[in-house]
DNA sequence: TTGAAAGCGCTAACAT
DNA sequence: ATGTTAGCGCTTTCAA
């Protein structure tokens, strides 16, 4: 009823209870049709009365296959929330939340979606999913720990250093997410950053006819940012512009920093007619700055982001962006791993997932 | 570099490469200080050159402990999204999303948060997390599969039938989430539904002085709903009212159904001054109906929900609700499991997490 | 159809 | 400080 009292029953217990050999018990579990009905019933009865649950570890050890895939994510932020009390009544805190004091519940829904996608795909393929967040100093331990238990491993970009990854890849298939590391010899699943940004920027420049632009980039070491910047440059070239025609500013993908930079930008004389940001968080910061400066979006300045985070749907105005299929990223990762089970040899493969440009009020289809 | 070619190296391989015994290899991994430095270095070198990753399964089998906890969630919905194209350009779809054609990215962030909480706590305790969604007919298989691999299992209410759970509980500690099943003999972690609803309803009746009420309940078999309804009745009693004074309607926790019911309610003559809903989705449906009927919220009718989903923060008007600490639910679950490791015997424990009433525009602190 | 027995890769006494 | 060895619980030939 509550916790188990003695050592869990094993095949041996079931076997003797049912008066058969352990091999037969195993067969009842794996290949029931290979056992006579009467025998099978007796074994199943024994399983019930004993409360037998087969040890997945022993099975994996004997069977050379775990049926589990691993997913390594960067650390989750633990955000202890601080909220003002209004009234306390019956032990339940009551908060005046009309100003949305409550934080967005999570800062990285991005990973949640990847996780969900991976879980879904794994389930459909009869695999279990083992998740771990690769934080802190114990990362090596975690990675080895997980790697030693699974048939394949999906790793979110920059979660794990290359050498560790290579080490692990000698044991099981490894696929890298959101970072095309074919050059490093890994399979990868990523998103078409360049095409997405190119399409969006082309919309701004070509269709809306905006040629006075600022580009708010991310941290220099971000592979995502590099690809997006490349897409942006292509769009410029497509329309006879060069980077020289654009005010380029480097942020850190964060909202606060973006607000600062945009404030400087807007105060610095000629306000650009459009601000292209390399991610949504930055774009939200730009919206903040525009609001503070009294600039209307999109009438005075259009603003675009990249990612498709939820907050962008609810911002004022709603944010035009390039939406990444995060759930699909997770699914594709599991698929890539399973592919490798069959195709143990062969060159690394890179899956590129399509993105979608979502035109919302901050940079509408037409002005 | 890419996939591994031969059978993965084992302790034996490492041992002979380093010229030591397998026990020494094991020691280097588990208790490095018990090995002379020179030896240790040789072993570590061998590990590197061979690309050795210890088998977690073998270790768990030999060591009687897996270091993994399992989390069983109900199935995730797979929502294939349909969106209208606006333009296609360079292979990237461009969508006019000014009307928010895009769906909320996920329908059950609730579980995502639980999952994240569990992951966080597990990580802090040096445990890995194995997730599975208990869907479909193969549920028994999945449950057994997971249960056979982990040291403890957290199960979201109603994901798994009781008998299966009892079976599993004979092997490992099991804790049930969001459903107090102490009576069934399981440890549980749940949320104080009754107190939350009681506090919220007391605010509506006592502080705002609203006595013309409708209560939109959920499905009859929902334990959550029952507790919330009980809390509501208490609030009524606290203020000298009875259920006879209230229009009670049964919905299904869904938005669409709630909208229908509320429409009927509003069209049926006397419009109640307040509608208390047993969850947020329903409350959103009521807001829809009120809007369609031309009723102003909160001026004509106040509306409250329960859960604290994100959508409620962005609705028009923002939804007053009772916020459940979902992440904390996951964390507490892992803690409860770990507790059981120490405390193998003893009566089941029930952890009750506090909720918070968030007063937003749909039912403000004062009218 | 069923049983006997040999591992799977590792940990943990127990020896040395 | 290091080696030997007996399992951990299961799958899987190979025999019967």
DSSP states along A108-153: -HHHHHHHHHHHHHHHHTT-EEEEEE--STTHHHHHHHHHTT-SEE
The whole-angstrom separation of Cα A166 and Cα A159 is 13
Q: How does residue B230 score in pLDDT terms, banded at 50, 70 and 90? A: very high
CB contact under 8 A, A98 and B318: yes
CA B330 to chain centre: 7
Q: Which nucleotide is nearest to A9 (CA to C1')?
A: D9
Crossing angle between the packed helical segments A193-202 and A223-238, to the nearest 10 degrees: 40
Q: What is the mean pLDDT of chain B?
A: 87
pLDDT tens digits for range B246-267: 999 999 988 899 999 999 999 9
Q: A276 near A216, Cβ under 8 Å?
A: yes
CB contact under 8 A, A54 and B148: yes
Contacts 24+ apart (CB under 8 A), B79-87: B79/B103, B79/B107, B83/A356, B86/A359, B86/A365
More reliable by pLDDT, A103 or B231: B231
Q: How does residue B313 score in pLDDT terms, banded at 50, 70 and 90? A: confident
Q: How does residue B99 score in pLDDT terms, banded at 50, 70 and 90? A: low
Beta strand ranges found along chain B (DSSP E)? 68-73, 87-89, 92-96, 128-133, 152-156, 174-177, 187-191, 213-217, 246-250, 274-277, 302-304, 321-323, 350-353, 356-359
Strand C footprint nucleotides (protein C-beta < 7 Å): 1-5, 7-13
Q: B83 near B102, Cβ under 8 Å?
A: yes
pLDDT of residue A210 exceeding 80, the answer is yes
The whole-angstrom separation of Cα B169 and Cα B163 is 10
Quickly give B207 CA vs C9 C1' distance in Å: 67
CB contact under 8 A, B113 and A120: no
Q: Stretch A45-59: mean pLDDT, rounded?
A: 94
> What is the CA angle B93-B96-B99, rounded to 5?
140
Q: B23 near B38, Cβ under 8 Å?
A: no
Report chain A residues whose CB lies below 8 A from the CB of B326: 105
> What is the distance in angstroms between the Cα of A250 and the nearest Cα belonging to chain B?
26
CB contact under 8 A, B318 and A192: no
Token pair recorded at residue A104: 């967005």
Q: A265 near A249, Cβ under 8 Å?
A: yes
Report chain A residues whose CB lies below 8 A from the CB of B100: 313, 318
CB contact under 8 A, A3 and B169: yes
Strand D footprint nucleotides (protein C-beta < 7 Å): 1-13
Helix (H) or strand (E) holding A88: strand A87-89
Token pair recorded at residue A221: 């070491």
The whole-angstrom separation of Cα A240 and Cα A334 is 42
Tally the residues of chain A.
Answer: 367
Q: Stretch A299-311: mean pLDDT, rounded?
A: 92
Q: B29 near B22, Cβ under 8 Å?
A: no
Nucleic chain C contacts, Cβ below 7 Å? A 19-24, 27, 34-36, 38-40, 58, 61-62, 64, 148; B 7-8, 10-12, 22-23, 25-26, 29-30, 52, 54-55, 58-59, 61-63
Alpha-carbon distances of B336 from B16, B150, B352, rounded to whole Å:
43, 15, 12
Q: With a 7 Å cutoff on the CB, does A197 touch strand D? A: no
> What is the distance in angstroms between the Cα of B83 and the nearest Cα belonging to chain A?
10
Alpha-carbon distances of A141 from A146, A158, B30, B56, B126, rounded to whole Å:
8, 16, 11, 12, 10
Token pair recorded at residue B14: 């490492």
Q: How does residue B109 score in pLDDT terms, banded at 50, 70 and 90? A: low
CB contact under 8 A, B130 and A135: no
Report chain B residues whose CB lies below 8 A from the CB of A78: 120
> What is the CA angle A55-A58-A63, rounded to 5?
120
pLDDT of residue B200 exceeding 90, the answer is yes
Q: How does residue B367 score in pLDDT terms, banded at 50, 70 and 90? A: confident
CB contact under 8 A, B51 and A167: yes
pLDDT tens digits for range B11-58: 999 999 999 999 999 999 999 999 999 999 999 999 999 999 999 999
Longest CA pairwise span in chain B (Å): 89
Q: How does residue B138 score in pLDDT terms, banded at 50, 70 and 90? A: low
Burial call A307-335: b when 16+ CB within 10 Å, e when fewer: bbbbbbbebebbbbbbbbbbbbbbbbbbb
> What is the distance in angstroms between the Cα of B92 and the nearest Cα belonging to chain A?
6
Report chain B residues whose CB lies below 8 A from the CB of A106: 109, 112-113, 116, 327
Q: Helix (H) and strand (E) counts for chain B?
A: 13, 14
Q: With a 7 Å cutoff on the CB, does A167 touch strand D? A: no
Q: With a 7 Å cutoff on the CB, does A26 touch strand D? A: yes
Q: Stretch B62-89: mean pLDDT, rounded?
A: 68
Of B95, B129, B172, the CB nearest to A132: B129
Q: Stretch B88-95: mean pLDDT, rounded?
A: 69
Alpha-carbon distances of A100 from A77, A95, A233, B252, B321, rounded to whole Å:
20, 10, 39, 28, 12
CA B359 to chain centre: 23
How many other β-carbons are positioned within 10 Å of the β-carbon of residue B87? 15
The whole-angstrom separation of Cα B121 and Cα B152 is 14
What spatial distance separates the first Cα and last Cα of chain B, rounded to whole Å? 67
Q: How does residue A78 score in pLDDT terms, banded at 50, 70 and 90? A: very low
């Amino acid at each position: 009823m509550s916790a188990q009292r003695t050592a869990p029953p094993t095949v041996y217990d079931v076997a003797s209870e049912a008066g058969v050999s352990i091999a037969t018990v195993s067969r009842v579990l794996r290949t029931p049709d290979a056992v006579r009905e009467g025998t099978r019933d007796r074994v199943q009865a024994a399983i019930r009365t004993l409360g037998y649950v087969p040890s997945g570890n022993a099975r994996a050890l004997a069977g050379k296959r775990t049926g589990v895939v691993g997913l390594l994510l960067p650390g989750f932020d633990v955000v202890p929330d601080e909220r003002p009390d209004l009234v306390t009544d019956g032990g339940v805190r009551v908060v005046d939340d009309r100003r949305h004091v409550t934080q967005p519940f999570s800062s990285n829904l991005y990973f949640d979606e990847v996780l969900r996608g991976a879980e879904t795909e794994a389930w459909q393929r009869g695999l279990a999913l083992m998740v771990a967040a690769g934080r802190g100093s114990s990362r090596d331990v975690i990675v080895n720990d997980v790697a030693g238990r699974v048939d394949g491993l999906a790793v979110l970009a920059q979660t794990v250093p290359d050498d560790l990854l290579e080490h692990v890849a000698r044991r099981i298939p490894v696929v890298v997410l959101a970072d095309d590391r074919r050059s490093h010899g890994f399979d990868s699943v990523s998103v078409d950053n360049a095409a997405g940004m190119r399409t969006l920027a082309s919309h701004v420049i070509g269709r809306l006819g905006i040629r006075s632009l600022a580009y708010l980039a991310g941290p220099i070491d971000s592979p995502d940012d590099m690809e997006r910047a490349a897409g942006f440059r292509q769009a410029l070239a497509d329309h006879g512009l060069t980077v020289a025609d654009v005010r380029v500013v480097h942020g850190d993908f964060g909202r606060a920093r973006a607000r600062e930079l945009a404030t400087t930008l807007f105060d610095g004389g000629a306000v650009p007619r459009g601000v292209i940001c390399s991610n949504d968080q930055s774009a939200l910061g730009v919206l903040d700055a525009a609001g503070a400066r009294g600039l209307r979006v999109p009438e005075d300045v259009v603003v675009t982001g990249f990612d498709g985070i939820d907050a962008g749907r609810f911002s004022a105005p709603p944010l035009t962006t390039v939406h990444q299929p995060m759930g699909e990223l997770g699914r594709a990762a599991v698929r890539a791993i399973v592919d490798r089970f069959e195709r143990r040899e062969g060159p690394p493969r890179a899956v590129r997932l399509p993105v979608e440009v979502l035109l919302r009020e901050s940079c509408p289809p037409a002005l």
